[in-house]
Amino acid sequence: MKKKKTKNILSSIKFDTGWCFAVVNGRLAEIYFDKKSGVNAHCYVKREEFSKREQKMIDTDIKKHKFSYRKKIYSRKA
């Protein structure tokens, strides 16, 4: 019996846009970004609105992503 080769559908899809959690101007936010242009937009959120699993995601993301937003420009904080 020969095994059928299955094609991984996710490997053929290219993700150009996405989102993650970040700290923007000292507040928790979701940021939306594009691979070409960087951060496009953000919205402030409350931590209590998310489940425990999502709160773990928040903890890992905010360690990496800290931004300031001023005059329609996002700049990464060190």
Taking the model in full, what pTM does it have?
Answer: 0.74
Q: Where does 1-78 have alpha helices with state H?
A: 9-12, 52-64
In the numeric block, which tokens belong to residue 66? Answer: 């800290």
At 26-54, the pLDDT tens digits run 999 999 988 888 889 999 999 999 999 99
The label of the residue with tokens 């409350």 reads 46
